[in-house]
Structure 1
């Protein structure tokens, strides 16, 4: 089974590293700068907040796929780890590097990007997946997992093989047939991405401040209200059900620290991918996360002033850097 990671940023490199360490044949489709970094540092170095540290080199590092796609035309599985707004532009390339039985797994945050490409790629098995943890790119080809969680993929024959290989290395990998509750539930947690970028604080420090938590609780409450109006089910990622998360987040610091130890069991330096995008002066995924809350709120008649304000603040940051 030949696997490609298309769009090897922080999440893509971390996924590639785990798949390589699981004994799978993995090629990285990446920017020249990523290839240079990995070559200079003898591969991808994975680390996490619990002390894991290991380096591995993917089978192939590809930077010229648009110029010579036929050399890579037989991938059985392609993980698309590009940003949401980049997905619709790669349809023709995906057609070129896959076959009729290929599985293409879209690993984007938020809502909307998957719908932009499904019609064009109807010849393949189109799946979705999520990364329910934080990954931050560090110097020297190191990619650091700062929070708990394991890759979650939609179930089919290819992902069953991948799960077996990953579990054998104790990496963790969960499979689900219906990804809608998984993705909607993850969006609830992803609402902190923008707030973390706005505060500029490490996530642990941000969540230690009640005012910051209350902002997040307000944004989450709006999404929960939208989901209720739309009859949307949310997967539970935390020890408490989604509807109780805003209540827990709004508690005074002492009570929150006692009741939410799991939320604070993260690397002290962990930050959101949106913070990383802002620092790198890249376009963010705000329209697919908080922006999705606003759009669905309008559709179902639910007011979302907090998320609307967050979207506006992120756009200001995008323009000012």
Structure 2
């Protein structure tokens, strides 16, 4: 099975690297500096205090890769449509497109671009942090990936994909309730993403503040109420479960993707995470004041970063 990870940043490189290290035929498609470092020196994966090098193909142009059997989409949520459109060379007659992105709504976008019959959905709890171009910290211990057909069937293609993940030592399950899976993963992102971004704290110190935990649990409880109002069946039974699960198997220095984005001065996926809870809450008639406040704080930080960049540009 020929696999391409579209959007091979921290998480995409971590996942693709582990798959390649387990024998899968993987290509990474991502930004220039990171891809050039991997093409030249290999991808360095750090787990715990140990580094290991993985050799795999890394590209910045989909045309150089051509059609593959599986495209794993891990671009930022707000780049989904343009990224997939630009990477149409990856999609052949038998290509399956799998979104493992954070948040809600990606499958609808992918369906519009490549067709519903090609799309399967999933979520992964694997973690990745960019240490330097070509060097990524990986968190896989106890971190499951779940995939499934949009119609809830267990197809041959889903079983084949699961077998590739298993061969690489990754925990994977095939779900007949992928919508519930998507919401369960959303709860984990709701628990830590915005709060990590606002406080600028990695997981160790973040989890040491009782008030942060209290706020996280309140945000998750709102999201659970929205999901239930939408008729979604959740595996998560208690809001604190999402808070605990978010940090399982990850080192104290691990940073949520939202914090990583802010540290780079780039936009976050807040609109597809806490923002999605607010939007679906409005549709369902469920109040979401905690998530609304978290969205406002992140939007304020993004605006501040943009203003600081503009000031620096004018001063230069």
Other structure's SS at 1:111 match: coil
Partner of 1:233: 233
Match of 1:299 among 283, 299, 303: 283
Task: Give the 3 Å change call, closer, same or farther, for CA 73–310 of structure 1 in structure 2.
Answer: same
Question: Could you tell me how far 1:156 is from its partner in structure 2?
Answer: 4.1
Please report the RMSD computed on the Cα atoms of aligned residues, expressed in angstroms. Answer: 2.4
User: Is 2:104 aligned against 1:111?
Assistant: yes
1:226-285 Cα offsets, whole Å, 9 max, x none, are 12222221134xxxx335548xx7xxxxxxxxxx69956531101100000000011110
> What corresponds to 1:149 in structure 2?
143
Equivalent of residue 269 in structure 1, options 225, 247, 253: 253
After superposition, give the CA deviation of every residue in 1:122-149 in whole Å (9 maximum; x if it has no partner).
1752012222133211135222134640
Is the Cα–Cα contact under 8 Å of residues 59 and 65 in structure 2 kept in the other structure?
no
- Name stretches of at least 5 consecutive residues in structure 1 with no aligned partner: 250-259
The structure in which a higher percent of residues are helix is: 2
Cα offsets for 1:177-202 (capped at 9, x unmatched):
33111110111110111111111111
Alignment partner of 1:242 out of 238, 244, 267: 238
Q: How many residues align?
A: 298
Deviations 1:94-134 (A, max 9, x none): 43321222101111101123212312311752012222133
**TM-score, with structure 1 as normaliser:** 0.85
1:85 aligns with 78
Q: In structure 2, do the counterparts of structure 1 residues 265 and 79 end up closer, same or farther at CA, with 3 Å as the change threshold? A: closer
> Does the 8 Å CA contact 2:225/2:286 hold for their aligned counterparts?
yes
Describe the SS at the equivalent of 1:117.
Answer: helix
| 1:158 CA drift (Å) | 3.9
With over 3 angstroms needed to count, the CA separation of the structure-2 counterparts of 1:160 and 1:81, relative to structure 1, is same
Aligned to 1:179: 178
Cα deviation, residue 48, structure 1: 2.5
Name the SS of the counterpart of 1:231 in structure 2: coil
Q: Distance in 2 between matches of 1:14 and 1:304?
A: 33
Q: Is the 8 A contact 2:68 2:92 kept in 1?
A: yes
Once residues 38 and 89 of structure 1 are traced to their aligned partners in structure 2, the CA distance between those partners, rounded to angstroms, is 24
1:20 is aligned to 20
Q: Which residue of 1 aligns with 2:311?
A: none
Q: Find the counterpart in structure 1 of residue 313 from structure 2.
A: none
Q: Name structure 2 gaps, 5 residues minimum.
A: 149-153, 306-316
| TM-score (ref. length: structure 2) | 0.86
Cross-structure match for 1:160: 159
